[in-house]
Every structure is written in structure tokens, then in C-alpha cells.
Amino acid sequence: MEDLALKDSWLQEDGDKEDENNILDPEIVDQAESPDKELMTINMGPQHPSTHGVLRLVVTLSGESVVKCIPDIGYLHTGIEKTAENKTYNQALTLTDRTDYLNPLINNLGFSLAVERLLGIEKQVPQKAQVARVILTELQRISSHLVWLGTHAMDLGALSTFLYGMREREIILDIFEKCAGVRMMTSYIMPGGLYADLPSGFDTDVRNFLAIFKKKWPEYHTLLTNSELWFERTKGIGALTAQEAISYGVTGPILRACGVKYDIRKMFPYIGYETYDFEVPLGKTGDVYDRFMVRMLEVPQSIRIIEQALDKLPEGDWMINDPKIAPPKKWQIATNMESLIHHFKLFTEGYKPPAGEVYSRVESARGELAYYMVSDGSNKPYRMHIRAPSFANLQSMPLMLEGRSNFADIVSAIGSIDIILGEVDR
């Protein structure tokens, strides 16, 4: 590099383009020069504090404003779909936790619904399991939104929101740990019901959490919702029209912030969501602030659903009674020959859904999570494809930003999309 001190182009107003680009950020990978504008292409990520995972953005800037913004994904590609083709259905369930790792229970639910539809046992899942699934799904949604809020706000400078979010999330993770033994990758919602019975005191634990959370949730609103600084960073940024969003396949809070009422829990209800009374918040302009408000307003609705579900939670079985699909109770294996044989068959070979295909969609915290599964009658899925909401949502990010944002708005937009690279790359 030339000696910086001797540069005359520092003082000239329209100095040499290549010299000016050279002295700037050492992370320049490419230099796009156009005759009338000075464009600078820089590389953000894959290791970057604000990209929420290993996302690489190639951003072309003209000064401070974004001209092009191209996401480059694949840095977390895990081959989950290929790995699932070599595992039995219950083993593939554990892989699904790791796609969208902020709401593993909802991933498990999507997978379980797909397999239950393939097996044809969807109506036979006991009521206790269905209601418990609703409670766990909504708790998982709350915990995912808490992490989203914490990281989004932390990127934009509000560091204390992160600590607030983590504080409440720990209580939810304690509940999951009591149910499944694991804080995060629970694999608790299995095809057929739940993996194990709900722990004693589950009802009390969840009610205690709700009591605490209802007192603490207004604190989050006081932190950000009416803050002038928050408005500056989020209002009018990254707006998407409903037409653009639909044509890109965007779903979830982003689509709802554009004003389109698409919530799978209302439109194609599953596990009994039609029996619960809740609202779906909608936004107007589709900018970052509207997405923020949609998610903030979804959390009280989740609390409402949990309360209704807790009142409905019956006693009974947590798994269907079919010994060809559900493992027998542990105490039966020691005394009953048939249970032993069923246990052996299930854990070595697994159940074999009849040949067919299914596309089951659930509403995850990010949008429409769907599992497209093809079975060929054997004990392993022939094809398991995960339709990840963040994949389509991230595709729309250049639309949000190109031509009308500053560089700092990229961070707002990424946070508002709430991407999880695990499910984008699978």
C-alpha cells in the first residue's frame, strides 16, 4: 500500500477512486467502480456480532447508503435432510431440534404432525398430549421472542434488554428441563404424543411463571416501545409491501406486519388451536417497528392461550396406546414379553408409515415452518424436507434495504427478520 501521508487525493473533492478505496476498511474484498458514483463493496460476516449467526452479507455502498445487499448463506449447512434419510423416524426427530434452535419444540411439533399424518394416527393422540403440546409450543414461542428481542435490541444498542430477556427465558427453560431433562434440544414432542409424562407440578410451575411474567412483561414495553431512540432506528426502515412479501413467500410476523392476516394457527388449525380464543396482531406499514410491535403483541396472546390450555389440561395418557408406534412403559418391559418385543422392534427398527407424502405446516416464531416428508413404506424417511421460514424471509432482505437505507439500517433489518441460520442452511 502506498504511503498514506503523501496522498493528495485526501484533499481533493473527487479524488482518485482506487486510492480512496484502498485506505479504508481492510475487509474490502471487491471494488466495484462505476463512472458516475463511487461504490464500495464490503463484506459483513460470517463472523460478525450483528448477523445473528453465520450469515455473510456482501454490501455495496455509495457513501453511507446501501446500493446492493446480497446475503450469502450456507455457512451452517449441516446436511440434516440427508442425515435424516439414514435414521429412523424417532432418531430423525432429534435432528429436527437443531434446525431452528430457538424453538426446538415447535420443530418437533411440525415433524410429529407430519409423521402422525403419514401414520394416520392424528386423531388418536390423547387429549392430554394435545393440550400439553399447545402449552409447550406457546412457552417456546415466548422464549424465542425473548431471545429475538434481546439480540435485536442489543444490536441496536439497548444492552439491558438482552439481560431482561435472558432472565425470563431461564424460567421457561427450567420448565423444559423438568419435562424433558434438557434445556434446549428437548425432542419432547414425539409422533404419537409426548416423550414422557408431564412432571408433577407442571401446572404449578407454568402458573408461577405466568404470574412472574405478567408482572415483568410491561417492563419490556417501557424499555423500548415508546422510546424516541428506538423510533429513530426502526420507524420507516426496511418496509415491505404486502404484495412483495407474498411474492417472496415471506410468512410470519413479517407478513403480519405488512397487514396480511396469515397465521397458520387460525387458517389451518392443528392440535386443537381452533378451540382457543386468541387474536392475531397485524401491522400496517411493514417496517421494522411494526414487526417489533407484532411480536411484542403476540406474547400476551401466547400467555392467553397458555392460560386457557392450563384450565383444559386433563389427566390421562400422554402417548397413544398403539404398541406398534409408542414404546411401552418401562416397568412393563421387565415383566411382559410382548412389551419387550415391541420395545426391541421400535428401538432397532422403528415404525413404518405406509407410503405417501405429507406437507405439514405449523406456525413457528418465525413464520410458516413446514415439513414435506415422503415415505416409501420403510422405517426411514425417504425424503425429509424442511421448509424453513427464515429461508424465504431472508430472501426478501435485499428488497427491504436496497436503494433506501443507510448502512446502520442493515443491522435493524436483520434483527427484525429474526433469522436463525440453522434453519436457513439446514
Answer yes or no: are the C-beta atoms of 353 and 118 closer than 8 Å.
yes
Exactly one of 22, 32, 68, 184 binds another protein (CB under 8 A); which one?
184
CB of 244 to another protein, least distance (A): 8
Q: Report how far apart the first and last C-alpha atoms of the chain are (Å, whole number).
A: 41
In the numeric block, the cell 390421562 is attached to: 316
Q: Is 268 an interacting residue with respect to another protein (CB under 8 A)? A: yes
Q: Which stretch binds another protein (CB under 8 A): 305-313, 344-352, 392-400, 404-412?
A: 392-400
Exactly one of 12, 34, 78, 241 binds another protein (CB under 8 A); which one?
78
CB of 121 to another protein, least distance (A): 8
Strand, helix or coil for residue 101: coil
* CA geometry: angle 79, 82, 88, nearest 5 deg: 125
Closer of 118 and 328 to another protein (Cβ)? 118
Closer of 328 and 350 to another protein (Cβ)? 350
Closer of 150 and 238 to another protein (Cβ)? 150
CB of 167 to another protein, least distance (A): 5
Closer of 184 and 310 to another protein (Cβ)? 184
Q: Is 359 an interacting residue with respect to another protein (CB under 8 A)? A: yes
Closer of 186 and 405 to another protein (Cβ)? 186
Q: Is 53 an interacting residue with respect to another protein (CB under 8 A)? A: yes
Q: Is 374 an interacting residue with respect to another protein (CB under 8 A)? A: yes
Selection from 404, 397, 418 nearest residue 70 by Cα? 397
Closer of 12 and 208 to another protein (Cβ)? 208
Exactly one of 354, 378, 403, 404 binds another protein (CB under 8 A); which one?
354
CB of 16 to another protein, least distance (A): 29
Q: Is 382 an interacting residue with respect to another protein (CB under 8 A)? A: yes
Q: Is 384 exposed, middle or buried (0-12, 13-18, 19+ CB in 10 A)?
A: buried
Closer of 333 and 374 to another protein (Cβ)? 374
**Three-state SS sequence of 348-397:** HCCCCCCCEEEEEEEEECCEEEEEEEEECCCCCCCEEEEECHHHHHHHCH
Alpha helices in 190-336 (DSSP H): 202-224, 228-234, 242-247, 253-257, 264-267, 288-312, 330-333
Selection from 93, 36, 87 nearest residue 62 by Cα? 36
CB of 387 to another protein, least distance (A): 4
Going 398 to 400 to 405 to 411, the CA torsion angle's sign is negative
Site residues for another protein, 193-222, by CB under 8 A, read: none
Answer yes or no: are the C-beta atoms of 202 and 176 closer than 8 Å.
no
Site residues for another protein, 134-163, by CB under 8 A, read: 147, 150-151, 162-163
Q: Which amino acid is located at 408 in the chain? A: A
Site residues for another protein, 109-128, by CB under 8 A, read: 117-118, 120, 122-123
Closer of 198 and 370 to another protein (Cβ)? 370
Q: Is 321 an interacting residue with respect to another protein (CB under 8 A)? A: no
The span from the CA of 389 to the CA of 392, in Å, is: 6
In the numeric block, the cell 504511503 is attached to: 3
CB of 338 to another protein, least distance (A): 28
Closer of 93 and 328 to another protein (Cβ)? 93
DSSP H/E element including 357:
strand 356-364
Site residues for another protein, 276-315, by CB under 8 A, read: none
Closer of 21 and 130 to another protein (Cβ)? 130
| Positions of E strands within 125-217 | 189-190, 193-194
288-312 helix and 407-417 helix, angle to the nearest 10 degrees = 20
Exactly one of 16, 33, 170, 349 binds another protein (CB under 8 A); which one?
170
